[in-house]
Amino acid sequence: MLFASEIELLAVIYLVAITAEAMSGALAAGRRNMDIFGVAVIAFVTALGGGTIRDLILGRFPIGWTQHPEYIYLVITAGLVTVVVARYIYHIKRIFLALDAMGLIAFSLIGCNAALEMNYPLAVVVISGMITGIFGGVLRDVLCNQVPVVFRHELYASVSLVTCLFYLGLRSLGVDADLNTAFSFFVGLALRFLAIWRGWGLPIFSYQHRWE
């Protein structure tokens, strides 16, 4: 069972995560010269798409945002605010990567807890965390006609995996729930930033042979 304090901390992290991901979605839409409606849709899908897919797979109903319309208002507002402030931000790429990293890690932890609440096996818990962490970004990139970040050589899904495993490892050791959540968040975030900075990535499979 989850402690009440951990649930409260995750609720705060969730609000930060959907705001950050909505902003990253809006920036991605802006880089593709979308209109305001397109920005709102991409912001919504990026922020809430991963959790929606997770809930559908786990059979977790009703889906979270359908019971909390304030989440819809929050992510669309965050997306539209980004349209206004983006022109005043000089390092869009760095901010985009930072927001996306925050969403990736936070959603991974939230996804783990969603499966834990339903008493799924640990393997499913990890996959739930990864689905929540990466699929909003996958949907964003597909709708923006880009190869999803998760399928490139840069460490992305692997960071989500490590974060989930680290979190569950500390949990099994009986580490305080709030401390575990906070520590896992910052460890995952640091790993993602290091991967970006150092250019860490997985081996690439390149197959160019043409069938005769």
3-state secondary structure string across the chain: CCCHHHHHHHHHHHHHHHHHHHHHHHHHHHHCCCCHHHHHHHHHHHHHHHHHHHHHHHCCCCCHHHHCHHHHHHHHHHHHHHHHHHHHCCCHHHHHHHHHHHHHHHHHHHHHHHHHHCCCCHHHHHHHHHHHHHHHHHHHHHHCCCCCHHHCCECCHHHHHHHHHHHHHHHHCCCCHHHHHHHHHHHHHHHHHHHHHHCCECCCCCCCCCCC
- Examine residue 209 and state whether it is found in any structural domain, yes or no: no
Q: How confident is the model at residue 204 (pLDDT cuts 50, 70, 90)?
A: confident
Inside any domain, residue 188: yes
Position 9 in a domain: yes
pLDDT digits (tens, 9 = 90+) for 94-143: 877 888 888 899 999 999 999 999 999 999 999 999 999 999 999 999 99
Q: Indicate if the pLDDT at residue 90 is higher than 80.
A: no
Give the pLDDT confidence score for residue 100 in this predicted structure.
82
Q: How many domains does the chain have?
A: 1
Average pLDDT value for the chain: 89
Structure tokens, 20: 């950050």
Query: What span, in angstroms and rounded, lies between the C-alpha atoms of 106 and 110?
Result: 6
208 in any annotated domain: no
pLDDT band at 4 (very low <50, low <70, confident <90, very high): low
Q: Is residue 42 very low, low, confident or very high in pLDDT (cuts 50, 70, 90)?
A: very high
Residue 166 lies in a domain: yes
In a domain, 141, yes or no: yes
- Structural domain boundaries, residue 194: 4-198
Residue 90 or 165, more confident:
165
> CA separation (Å) from 86 to 78, 98, 123?
12, 15, 40
| Any domain includes 207 | no
Domain annotation covers residue 171: yes
